[in-house]
Protein backbone atom coordinates (compact mmCIF):
# COMPACT_ATOMS: atom_id res chain seq x y z
CA UNK A 1 0.00 0.00 0.00
CA UNK A 2 0.96 3.66 -0.28
CA UNK A 3 1.57 5.41 3.02
CA UNK A 4 3.17 8.48 4.54
CA UNK A 5 6.45 7.52 6.22
CA UNK A 6 8.43 9.58 8.76
CA UNK A 7 12.13 9.90 7.96
CA UNK A 8 13.11 12.40 10.64
CA UNK A 9 12.21 15.97 11.58
CA UNK A 10 10.77 17.87 8.61
CA UNK A 11 11.26 14.78 6.41
CA UNK A 12 8.30 12.69 5.33
CA UNK A 13 7.82 10.59 2.21
CA UNK A 14 5.15 8.66 0.38
CA UNK A 15 6.38 5.08 0.19
CA UNK A 16 5.20 1.55 -0.39
CA UNK A 17 4.62 -0.37 2.84
CA UNK A 18 3.25 -3.87 3.41
CA UNK A 19 -0.52 -3.98 3.70
CA UNK A 20 -1.64 -4.29 7.34
CA UNK A 21 -2.98 -7.66 8.43
CA UNK A 22 -5.21 -8.99 11.19
CA UNK A 23 -2.91 -9.52 14.19
CA UNK A 24 -5.52 -10.04 16.92
CA UNK A 25 -9.07 -11.46 16.90
CA UNK A 26 -10.48 -7.99 17.70
CA UNK A 27 -8.69 -6.24 14.81
CA UNK A 28 -10.21 -4.82 11.65
CA UNK A 29 -8.57 -3.68 8.44
CA UNK A 30 -9.98 -0.38 7.16
CA UNK A 31 -9.52 1.11 3.70
CA UNK A 32 -9.03 4.81 4.32
CA UNK A 33 -11.40 7.21 2.56
CA UNK A 34 -10.34 10.45 4.24
CA UNK A 35 -7.56 11.41 6.63
CA UNK A 36 -6.52 14.76 8.04
CA UNK A 37 -3.38 16.50 9.20
CA UNK A 38 -3.66 17.64 12.81
CA UNK A 39 -1.72 20.29 14.68
CA UNK A 40 -0.48 17.47 16.91
CA UNK A 41 1.01 15.82 13.81
CA UNK A 42 3.10 18.95 13.37
CA UNK A 43 4.69 18.36 16.79
CA UNK A 44 5.87 14.99 15.45
CA UNK A 45 6.90 16.49 12.11
CA UNK A 46 8.98 19.11 13.88
CA UNK A 47 10.71 16.51 16.05
CA UNK A 48 9.29 17.67 19.38
CA UNK A 49 7.74 14.42 20.65
CA UNK A 50 10.06 11.81 22.19
CA UNK A 51 10.35 8.33 20.67
CA UNK A 52 8.92 9.24 17.28
CA UNK A 53 10.56 6.54 15.20
CA UNK A 54 11.74 6.56 11.61
CA UNK A 55 9.43 4.45 9.45
CA UNK A 56 6.23 5.30 11.30
CA UNK A 57 3.05 6.36 9.51
CA UNK A 58 1.25 9.32 11.09
CA UNK A 59 -2.44 10.17 11.06
CA UNK A 60 -4.94 9.86 13.89
CA UNK A 61 -7.93 11.45 12.11
CA UNK A 62 -9.43 9.15 9.50
CA UNK A 63 -12.55 7.53 8.09
CA UNK A 64 -12.77 4.41 5.99
CA UNK A 65 -14.53 1.30 4.79
CA UNK A 66 -14.14 -1.93 6.73
CA UNK A 67 -12.38 -4.49 4.53
CA UNK A 68 -11.83 -7.34 6.97
CA UNK A 69 -12.60 -8.14 10.60
CA UNK A 70 -11.16 -10.53 13.14
CA UNK A 71 -13.27 -13.39 14.49
CA UNK A 72 -14.13 -11.59 17.76
CA UNK A 73 -15.37 -8.36 16.17
CA UNK A 74 -19.17 -8.33 16.51
CA UNK A 75 -20.15 -4.71 15.86
CA UNK A 76 -18.68 -4.26 12.38
CA UNK A 77 -18.73 -6.10 9.08
CA UNK A 78 -16.96 -5.64 5.73
CA UNK A 79 -18.46 -2.75 3.80
CA UNK A 80 -19.32 -0.60 6.81
CA UNK A 81 -18.38 3.08 6.51
CA UNK A 82 -16.79 4.13 9.78
CA UNK A 83 -15.16 7.05 11.52
CA UNK A 84 -12.34 6.00 13.82
CA UNK A 85 -11.70 7.99 17.03
CA UNK A 86 -8.04 8.77 17.57
CA UNK A 87 -8.10 6.95 20.93
CA UNK A 88 -7.42 3.23 20.82
CA UNK A 89 -9.29 1.78 23.79
CA UNK A 90 -10.23 -1.65 25.09
CA UNK A 91 -13.63 -0.67 26.49
CA UNK A 92 -13.18 -2.81 29.61
CA UNK A 93 -10.39 -1.45 31.82
CA UNK A 94 -10.85 0.77 34.89
CA UNK A 95 -10.47 3.93 32.81
CA UNK A 96 -12.63 2.88 29.86
CA UNK A 97 -15.43 2.01 32.27
CA UNK A 98 -15.24 5.64 33.43
CA UNK A 99 -15.39 6.75 29.75
CA UNK A 100 -11.80 7.97 29.94
CA UNK A 101 -11.02 6.37 26.60
CA UNK A 102 -7.92 8.53 26.13
CA UNK A 103 -6.40 6.87 29.21
CA UNK A 104 -7.06 3.20 28.40
CA UNK A 105 -4.70 1.01 30.41
CA UNK A 106 -4.56 -2.04 28.17
CA UNK A 107 -3.45 -0.79 24.75
CA UNK A 108 -0.21 1.05 25.49
CA UNK A 109 2.78 -0.33 27.40
CA UNK A 110 3.55 3.28 28.39
CA UNK A 111 0.02 3.77 29.75
CA UNK A 112 1.02 5.24 33.10
CA UNK A 113 -0.22 8.46 31.50
CA UNK A 114 -1.74 8.63 28.01
CA UNK A 115 -3.46 5.66 26.41
CA UNK A 116 -2.84 4.73 22.78
CA UNK A 117 -3.18 6.97 19.74
CA UNK A 118 -3.05 6.09 16.05
CA UNK A 119 -0.04 7.38 14.17
CA UNK A 120 1.73 8.95 17.13
CA UNK A 121 5.01 8.33 18.88
CA UNK A 122 5.83 5.15 20.76
CA UNK A 123 5.00 7.00 23.98
CA UNK A 124 1.41 6.56 22.72
CA UNK A 125 1.78 2.93 21.71
CA UNK A 126 3.56 3.22 18.37
CA UNK A 127 0.57 2.23 16.23
CA UNK A 128 0.64 3.18 12.54
CA UNK A 129 -1.92 5.76 11.54
CA UNK A 130 -4.36 6.60 8.80
CA UNK A 131 -2.32 8.73 6.39
CA UNK A 132 -2.20 5.64 4.23
CA UNK A 133 -4.42 3.57 2.00
CA UNK A 134 -5.12 0.97 4.69
CA UNK A 135 -4.82 0.83 8.46
CA UNK A 136 -5.09 -1.85 11.13
CA UNK A 137 -7.71 -0.87 13.71
CA UNK A 138 -7.23 -2.69 17.05
CA UNK A 139 -10.17 -3.20 19.41
CA UNK A 140 -12.45 -2.60 16.43
CA UNK A 141 -15.54 -3.56 18.39
CA UNK A 142 -14.99 -0.55 20.70
CA UNK A 143 -13.73 2.55 18.89
CA UNK A 144 -15.04 2.83 15.32
CA UNK A 145 -18.54 4.17 14.77
CA UNK A 146 -20.64 3.66 11.68
CA UNK A 147 -21.16 6.90 9.78
CA UNK A 148 -24.86 7.74 9.44
CA UNK A 149 -26.07 7.64 5.83
CA UNK A 150 -27.04 11.31 5.95
CA UNK A 151 -23.66 12.56 7.21
CA UNK A 152 -21.09 14.18 4.93
CA UNK A 153 -17.82 12.25 5.07
CA UNK A 154 -15.89 15.46 5.72
CA UNK A 155 -17.97 16.14 8.82
CA UNK A 156 -17.25 12.56 9.88
CA UNK A 157 -13.46 12.83 9.57
CA UNK A 158 -13.46 15.90 11.83
CA UNK A 159 -15.40 13.93 14.45
CA UNK A 160 -12.37 11.67 14.94
CA UNK A 161 -10.38 14.29 16.87
CA UNK A 162 -10.47 18.04 16.15
CA UNK A 163 -14.15 18.66 16.79
CA UNK A 164 -14.51 16.44 19.90
CA UNK A 165 -11.26 17.83 21.30
CA UNK A 166 -12.55 21.39 20.97
CA UNK A 167 -15.87 20.30 22.46
CA UNK A 168 -14.16 18.63 25.43
CA UNK A 169 -12.01 21.73 25.91
CA UNK A 170 -15.19 23.73 26.44
CA UNK A 171 -16.73 20.99 28.58
CA UNK A 172 -13.67 20.87 30.86
CA UNK A 173 -14.04 24.61 31.33
CA UNK A 174 -17.22 23.90 33.29
CA UNK A 175 -18.84 26.88 31.55
CA UNK A 176 -21.76 28.49 33.32
CA UNK A 177 -24.45 30.60 31.67
CA UNK A 178 -23.07 34.00 30.57
CA UNK A 179 -19.46 33.14 31.43
CA UNK A 180 -16.65 34.92 29.63
CA UNK A 181 -14.44 32.35 27.90
CA UNK A 182 -11.00 33.08 26.45
CA UNK A 183 -9.53 30.59 23.96
CA UNK A 184 -5.81 30.75 23.30
CA UNK A 185 -5.17 29.47 19.76
CA UNK A 186 -7.26 29.85 16.61
CA UNK A 187 -6.31 26.57 14.99
CA UNK A 188 -8.96 23.90 14.32
CA UNK A 189 -9.25 22.83 17.98
CA UNK A 190 -9.47 26.43 19.18
CA UNK A 191 -12.11 27.16 16.55
CA UNK A 192 -14.21 24.23 17.72
CA UNK A 193 -13.64 25.16 21.37
CA UNK A 194 -14.99 28.65 20.70
CA UNK A 195 -18.05 27.33 18.88
CA UNK A 196 -18.64 24.75 21.61
CA UNK A 197 -18.42 27.41 24.33
CA UNK A 198 -21.55 29.02 22.85
CA UNK A 199 -23.30 25.63 22.82
CA UNK A 200 -22.56 25.34 26.54
CA UNK A 201 -23.99 28.74 27.47
CA UNK A 202 -21.10 31.21 27.30
CA UNK A 203 -22.07 34.87 27.23
CA UNK A 204 -18.83 36.09 25.68
CA UNK A 205 -16.13 34.26 23.71
CA UNK A 206 -12.70 35.80 23.06
CA UNK A 207 -9.95 34.22 20.94
CA UNK A 208 -6.25 35.09 21.03
CA UNK A 209 -3.84 34.24 18.19
CA UNK A 210 -1.27 36.00 16.01
CA UNK A 211 -2.37 34.92 12.53
CA UNK A 212 -4.85 37.41 11.09
CA UNK A 213 -6.42 34.98 8.62
CA UNK A 214 -7.28 32.52 11.39
CA UNK A 215 -8.62 35.29 13.58
CA UNK A 216 -10.79 36.57 10.74
CA UNK A 217 -12.20 33.09 10.18
CA UNK A 218 -13.10 32.54 13.81
CA UNK A 219 -14.47 36.07 14.14
CA UNK A 220 -17.19 35.03 11.70
CA UNK A 221 -17.51 31.30 12.27
CA UNK A 222 -17.09 31.08 16.06
CA UNK A 223 -18.27 33.76 16.29
CA UNK A 224 -15.84 35.44 18.65
CA UNK A 225 -14.10 38.62 19.67
CA UNK A 226 -10.54 38.31 18.40
CA UNK A 227 -7.21 39.86 19.32
CA UNK A 228 -3.79 39.49 17.71
CA UNK A 229 -1.34 39.10 20.58
CA UNK A 230 1.51 40.48 18.48
CA UNK A 231 -0.34 43.80 18.43
CA UNK A 232 -0.85 43.93 22.19
CA UNK A 233 1.67 45.35 24.64
CA UNK A 234 0.64 42.83 27.31
CA UNK A 235 -1.82 40.02 26.58
CA UNK A 236 -2.75 39.39 30.20
CA UNK A 237 -3.26 43.05 31.02
CA UNK A 238 -5.43 43.48 27.93
CA UNK A 239 -7.69 40.59 28.88
CA UNK A 240 -8.09 41.99 32.38
CA UNK A 241 -8.91 45.43 31.02
CA UNK A 242 -11.72 44.05 28.83
CA UNK A 243 -13.14 41.91 31.66
CA UNK A 244 -13.71 44.59 34.32
CA UNK A 245 -10.20 43.99 35.67
CA UNK A 246 -11.28 40.61 37.03
CA UNK A 247 -10.15 38.23 34.30
CA UNK A 248 -12.07 35.65 32.32
CA UNK A 249 -14.22 33.00 33.99
CA UNK A 250 -12.68 30.26 31.84
CA UNK A 251 -9.45 30.11 29.84
CA UNK A 252 -8.72 27.35 27.32
CA UNK A 253 -5.21 26.44 26.17
CA UNK A 254 -5.72 25.10 22.64
CA UNK A 255 -2.13 25.77 21.56
CA UNK A 256 0.28 23.47 23.36
CA UNK A 257 3.95 22.88 22.77
CA UNK A 258 4.74 25.22 19.88
CA UNK A 259 3.29 28.44 21.27
CA UNK A 260 4.73 31.74 20.10
CA UNK A 261 4.65 34.96 22.11
CA UNK A 262 7.58 34.58 24.52
CA UNK A 263 11.09 34.42 23.11
CA UNK A 264 12.75 32.53 25.96
CA UNK A 265 9.91 30.02 26.33
CA UNK A 266 9.92 29.38 22.58
CA UNK A 267 13.70 29.07 22.51
CA UNK A 268 13.88 26.58 25.40
CA UNK A 269 10.71 24.68 24.50
CA UNK A 270 10.85 24.52 20.70
CA UNK A 271 14.19 25.58 19.21
CA UNK A 272 16.42 23.81 21.75
CA UNK A 273 13.79 21.77 23.61
CA UNK A 274 15.09 21.52 27.15
CA UNK A 275 11.51 21.79 28.40
CA UNK A 276 8.46 19.98 27.04
CA UNK A 277 7.32 22.70 24.69
CA UNK A 278 6.74 26.41 25.24
CA UNK A 279 3.97 26.87 27.84
CA UNK A 280 3.40 30.50 26.85
CA UNK A 281 -0.32 30.07 26.18
CA UNK A 282 -0.77 28.09 29.39
CA UNK A 283 0.90 30.78 31.49
CA UNK A 284 -1.21 33.44 29.78
CA UNK A 285 -4.30 31.39 30.62
CA UNK A 286 -3.26 31.08 34.27
CA UNK A 287 -2.64 34.79 34.58
CA UNK A 288 -5.70 35.87 32.55
CA UNK A 289 -8.37 33.86 34.33
CA UNK A 290 -10.09 35.37 37.36
CA UNK A 291 -9.46 34.13 40.87
CA UNK A 292 -11.44 30.94 41.41
CA UNK A 293 -11.71 30.43 37.64
CA UNK A 294 -11.09 27.37 35.51
CA UNK A 295 -8.27 26.47 33.12
CA UNK A 296 -8.91 23.83 30.43
CA UNK A 297 -5.88 22.34 28.68
CA UNK A 298 -6.09 20.39 25.42
CA UNK A 299 -2.89 21.74 23.85
CA UNK A 300 -0.33 18.94 23.61
CA UNK A 301 2.91 19.07 25.60
CA UNK A 302 5.71 16.54 25.96
CA UNK A 303 6.20 14.28 28.97
CA UNK A 304 9.04 16.20 30.63
CA UNK A 305 8.91 19.36 32.76
CA UNK A 306 7.66 22.84 31.82
CA UNK A 307 8.25 26.29 33.31
CA UNK A 308 4.66 26.81 34.42
CA UNK A 309 3.37 29.44 36.86
CA UNK A 310 2.10 26.88 39.35
CA UNK A 311 2.35 29.34 42.24
CA UNK A 312 -0.26 31.55 40.58
CA UNK A 313 -2.54 28.53 40.26
CA UNK A 314 -2.38 28.00 44.01
CA UNK A 315 -2.67 31.62 45.04
CA UNK A 316 -5.60 32.32 42.70
CA UNK A 317 -7.49 29.18 43.70
CA UNK A 318 -7.75 27.91 40.14
CA UNK A 319 -9.18 24.66 38.88
CA UNK A 320 -7.27 22.94 36.08
CA UNK A 321 -8.88 20.29 33.91
CA UNK A 322 -6.84 18.59 31.21
CA UNK A 323 -6.85 15.43 29.13
CA UNK A 324 -6.81 13.94 25.71
CA UNK A 325 -10.37 13.99 24.40
CA UNK A 326 -12.40 10.84 24.96
CA UNK A 327 -13.92 10.97 21.49
CA UNK A 328 -16.32 8.06 21.87
CA UNK A 329 -18.09 9.75 24.79
CA UNK A 330 -18.82 12.91 22.81
CA UNK A 331 -19.96 11.44 19.50
CA UNK A 332 -23.69 11.05 20.26
CA UNK A 333 -24.07 14.69 21.28
CA UNK A 334 -21.93 16.03 18.44
CA UNK A 335 -23.82 13.98 15.86
CA UNK A 336 -27.02 15.42 17.27
CA UNK A 337 -25.64 18.96 16.86
CA UNK A 338 -24.65 18.26 13.24
CA UNK A 339 -28.00 16.72 12.37
CA UNK A 340 -29.82 19.69 13.91
CA UNK A 341 -27.71 22.13 11.88
CA UNK A 342 -26.03 23.74 14.88
CA UNK A 343 -22.59 22.57 13.79
CA UNK A 344 -20.95 21.84 10.42
CA UNK A 345 -17.35 20.80 11.12
CA UNK A 346 -16.37 20.53 7.45
CA UNK A 347 -16.70 24.29 7.05
CA UNK A 348 -13.23 24.76 8.55
CA UNK A 349 -11.54 22.64 5.82
CA UNK A 350 -9.51 24.86 3.53
CA UNK A 351 -7.30 22.34 1.71
CA UNK A 352 -8.09 19.00 0.10
CA UNK A 353 -5.10 17.15 -1.32
CA UNK A 354 -4.45 13.68 -2.76
CA UNK A 355 -2.75 11.40 -0.26
CA UNK A 356 0.26 11.31 -2.58
CA UNK A 357 0.79 15.02 -1.84
CA UNK A 358 1.00 14.54 1.92
CA UNK A 359 4.47 16.12 2.13
CA UNK A 360 3.14 19.27 0.49
CA UNK A 361 0.18 19.18 2.86
CA UNK A 362 2.51 19.18 5.87
CA UNK A 363 4.54 22.02 4.40
CA UNK A 364 1.47 24.17 3.75
CA UNK A 365 -0.11 23.48 7.13
CA UNK A 366 3.11 23.66 9.14
CA UNK A 367 4.24 26.90 7.50
CA UNK A 368 0.77 28.49 7.67
CA UNK A 369 0.70 29.08 3.91
CA UNK A 370 -2.29 29.81 1.69
CA UNK A 371 -4.47 30.75 4.69
CA UNK A 372 -4.55 27.07 5.64
CA UNK A 373 -6.74 26.12 8.58
CA UNK A 374 -7.37 22.41 8.03
CA UNK A 375 -6.04 19.95 5.44
CA UNK A 376 -7.78 16.72 4.43
CA UNK A 377 -6.05 13.99 2.45
CA UNK A 378 -7.92 11.87 -0.08
CA UNK A 379 -6.45 8.50 -1.06
CA UNK A 380 -6.40 7.99 -4.83
CA UNK A 381 -6.08 4.98 -7.08
CA UNK A 382 -4.02 2.33 -5.43
CA UNK A 383 -0.59 1.87 -6.96
CA UNK A 384 1.15 -1.45 -7.32
CA UNK A 385 3.74 -2.23 -4.68
Residues 23 and 61 occupy one common structural domain: yes
Do 225 and 356 lie in one domain? The reply is no
Q: In sequence order, which ranges of the chain are alpha helices (DSSP H)?
A: 39-45, 94-97, 153-158, 162-172, 188-199, 212-221, 235-241, 263-266, 280-288, 310-316, 327-339, 358-366
- 339, HSE (Cβ side, Cα atoms, 13 Å): 10
Do 304 and 335 fall into the same domain? no
What confidence score (pLDDT) does residue 48 get? 81
Q: For the chain, how many structural domains are there in total?
A: 2
Segments in the chain below pLDDT 50 = 381-385
pLDDT the model gives residue 358: 96
Q: Identify whether residues 312 and 366 lie together within a single domain.
A: no
- Tens of pLDDT, residue by residue over 232-258, are 999 999 999 999 999 999 999 999 877
Q: What is the pLDDT of residue 385?
A: 38
pLDDT value for 305: 76
88 and 207, same domain (yes or no): no
User: What is the enclosing helix (H) or strand (E) of 82?
Assistant: strand 81-84
pLDDT of residue 384: 39
Q: For residue 210, what is the domain's CATH number?
A: 3.40.50.720
Q: Please give the residue range of the domain that contains residue 371.
A: 2-161+326-378
For the entire predicted model, the pTM comes to 0.94
Q: Is 96 exposed, middle or buried (0-12, 13-18, 19+ CB in 10 A)?
A: buried
**Same domain assignment for residues 38 and 57:** yes
- Other CB atoms within a 10 A radius of the CB of residue 88 amount to 26
- Report if residue 384 sits inside a domain: no
Same domain, 73 and 173: no
Amino acid sequence: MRAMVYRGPYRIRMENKPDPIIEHPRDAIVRVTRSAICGSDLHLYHGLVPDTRVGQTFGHEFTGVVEQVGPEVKNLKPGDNVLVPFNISCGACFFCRKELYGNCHNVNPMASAVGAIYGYSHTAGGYDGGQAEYVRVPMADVGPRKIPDWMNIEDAVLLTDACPTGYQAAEMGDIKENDTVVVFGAGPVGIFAARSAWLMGAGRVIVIDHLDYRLEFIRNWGPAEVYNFSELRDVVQHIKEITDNLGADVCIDAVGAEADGNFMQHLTGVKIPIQAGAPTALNWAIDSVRKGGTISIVGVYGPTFNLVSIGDVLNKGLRINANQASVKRHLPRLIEHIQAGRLSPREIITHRLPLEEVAEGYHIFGSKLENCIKTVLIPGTRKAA
